Structure 1
């Protein structure tokens, strides 16, 4: 198996468990505070990786051009906005309802790559876009009302947050590809840059809504932060090797893992239908990656 694909698969597994943990363990913590705390802990977990990479200090001293710095900052901003939108979505809606919608990121990644980076669309990839789009319809469907999905797309706040999250993540994924491949920022430098950057952007909101934590909560944060560090490292490594249109569909198969966990362990409604929609979404993004 291609090393990049292996890292993308591992990232999907890690992110799937992470998504489930957000809903299961931290539903009473504000999204901004949750992100800042988890990212800060994840940076601490990631310090040994940074220290072990002797080339990181050289990259820091060399610096990057102003335009490249702007691309890095914009990429971090897009990820921060996307993550907040996703947290708002799962706060208002079922995990197995919003996750497949928010994880059709590759549907938006591919057109952006075509327009900005010259990516070529094949017929199979076009078919993948169609399948993934149909999956959005299916995941919104509630038995008994055929027009329900259409109504939900325009009037359901969780669905709107999830779709906007997917669009922002798409912009972030393309930016990540540019940062890691065109600009050449090393993985060990990009991961803490992303985590710290997102934390700084969300810090004012986190301060306004501080969480009330107990000693029992600390191990939870530390454990989930380790998952964040692993997931971000494997995701970054995959994007440093593969095109965004290939890495993004694989990483976003995390939707299936999150949906299965949400349906089995949380007993969320219409699980079978939404699991089917998740499978359709995965099929669609897989076709896009061919």
Structure 2
């Protein structure tokens, strides 16, 4: 059961990244974060009709709230800032596969909080993923002065935040239900990003939402469904392997960039993508 939800979340996440890449050309980091979270909240609320919610939503334990508070105030602002800088400044085929690092960064918090460790095959997958990431990180265009690819570096930072947040997600989901957690998570995040939008004087960009209202409506539904599918898989399956399958879907976004956006293709990038596929497969079946 968890595998089906993990696969669904993988495909939906790839679709989300493709749309987000397009929207980063129109909006700044926090205004885009606010819009996406806000358009996702109604879709998450509708899912209450199809998925269970806690019997008493006013008596949820502290174990539900403290992960959310940390995610809202600390992780989300850093994570989304780095994510949208990466998508805006980098190629889809170069930055989206880096999310395959998610199970790697998740090992330490998962061990301490959930007592989960990878198998030997999983460890081999981790090595392949790390090597692939290094290849993309050092795949700098000729003539550029920096030693490392900055968009890839930004994505690595975003993935670190996501890994920490994913473990906290599981703690809070276990104290509630996947769909209720999704709704509260997105609702609180929209408030935080609204504050940041005004704090960084990006509020004038919100008027542009009318120009892409169709895209935002579609993306809101996609995000809500992806989050619920992921949260359900997370609640039912092993943390690192659920993350591996979810991250593997981003290879779809990478192929979109290569085939439809005609992004650059070097020998180093090809090798990295092959290693990402091998590493993700090893983690998923281990």
TM over 0.5: yes
Q: Which residue number in structure 2 is paired with residue 78 of structure 1?
A: 75
What is residue 185 of structure 2 aligned with on the other side? Answer: 194
Deviations 1:5-33 (Å, cap 9, x if unpaired)?
Answer: 10110111011011011112442211211
Contact 1:18 1:224 in 2 (8 A): yes
Superposition pairs of residues 43-82 of structure 1, within 5 angstroms: 43-51=41-49, 55-56=53-54, 58-65=55-62, 68-76=64-72, 77-82=74-79
Residues 232-286 of structure 1: per-residue CA shift (max 9 Å, x gap): 1111111111121121000111220110111112111126753542342232133
Q: Please name the residue that 2:258 is paired with.
A: 263
Per the alignment, residue 130 of structure 2 pairs with 133
Which of 155, 164, 188 is matched with 1:171 structurally? 164
Output the CA distance in 1 between the equivalents of 2:192 and 2:109. Answer: 25
Question: Distance between the aligned counterparts of 1:31 and 1:144, measured in 2?
Answer: 25
- Deviations 1:133-191 (CA, angstroms, capped at 9, x unpaired): 1111222354898xx9x931xxx33222111111111101111122223xx21112101
Give the conservation status (yes or no) of the 8 Å contact 2:53–2:176.
no
**1:273–1:72 CA distance, 2 compared to 1 (3 A):** same
Aligned 8 A contact 1:104 1:285 in 2? no
Correspondence for 2:26 = 28
The match for 1:5 is 3
- Structure 1 unaligned segments of length 5 or more: list them: none
Residue of structure 2 equivalent to 1:284:
279
Aligned pair partner of 1:92 in 89, 92, 116: 89
TM-score by length of 1: 0.86
Q: Which is further off, 80-89 or 250-259? A: 80-89
How far residue 55 of structure 1 moved from its aligned partner, in angstroms, is 4.0
Deviates more, 1:33-42 or 1:23-32: 23-32
Give ranges in structure 2 of 5+ residues lacking alignment: none
- What is the root-mean-square deviation in Å for CA atoms of aligned residues? 2.4
Q: How many residues matched?
A: 278
Given the superposition, is the C-alpha separation of residues 283 and 159 from structure 1 closer, same or farther in structure 2, using an over 3 Å criterion? same
Shift of 1:48: 1.8
Q: How does 1:79-228 map to 2 (within 5 A)?
A: 79-142=76-139, 151-152=147-148, 156-181=149-174, 184-207=175-198, 208-210=201-203, 211=205, 212-213=207-208, 215-228=210-223
Residues 128 and 287 in structure 1, CA contact (< 8 A), matched pair in contact too = yes
User: TM-score normalised to the size of structure 2?
Assistant: 0.87
